[in-house]
Amino acid sequence: MSKVYFKKDRLKYSFLWMLIFAGASFLASLLPIKGTNWLATILMLLSGLSLITGMFGTNDDEASPIGLACPKCKVFHPIINLNIDTSSTIYIYGENIFRTRESDSLNIYPLLCLKCNNITEYASDQQNVSGHAVCGYEYFNTKKITQKDYKNAYHYAELNNHTHVLNKLKKIKLKNK
């Protein structure tokens, strides 16, 4: 599978390419050879296009498999058997604990990354309508796990008899625990 790119990654790489093209444009303008202004101009245009693409571009996610990923540590797992796979480091527990965005009634669910102990909000976007979907899902806020999140995930794992997740949850150290 190809690397999972999130919106912040696209912005970071576009800024990097912008710097590369702008630097090359500056160097081309310093060349003592007559008639190199066209090269400097083309490189500067590529610099601007790189930045514009990063800021306003969308993810072309057609070839990617459907699954969830942690935006912080880039761990990907296919959605099939996500919660019952013992090797999975992503746990979704928010079937009944979700928030609804008022502007468009979008249901946003939490997922827990058991590798970096972060909670990330996500919503299904299988057709990539937003243009920011990664592997069929759009990601929103990422934060460190709180006591409330921990209790919700632990309760959901107990209800569904996910003992492998319960064992991983017991190893998480919370500041307020």
What are residue 100's DSSP bridge partners? 107
Q: Which of 121, 145, 142, 125 is nearest to 134 (CA)?
A: 125
pLDDT > 90? residue 119: yes
State the pLDDT at residue 67. 81
Q: Residues with Cβ < 8 Å from 144, sequence gap 6 or more? A: 117, 118, 119
Tally of CB atoms within 10 A around 172: 14
pLDDT score for 156: 92
Angle between helices 7-30 and 37-56 (to 10 degrees): 170
- 130-176 pLDDT per residue, tens: 777 777 888 888 999 999 999 999 999 999 999 999 999 998 887 65
Question: Which residues sit opposite 111 in a β-bridge?
Answer: 92, 120
Higher pLDDT: 99 or 56? It is 99
Q: What is the DSSP string of 3-61?
A: PP--HHHHHHHHHHHHHHHHHHHHHHHH--STT-HHHHHHHHHHHHHHHHHHHH-----
Say how far residue 14 (Cα) sits from the centre of its chain. 16
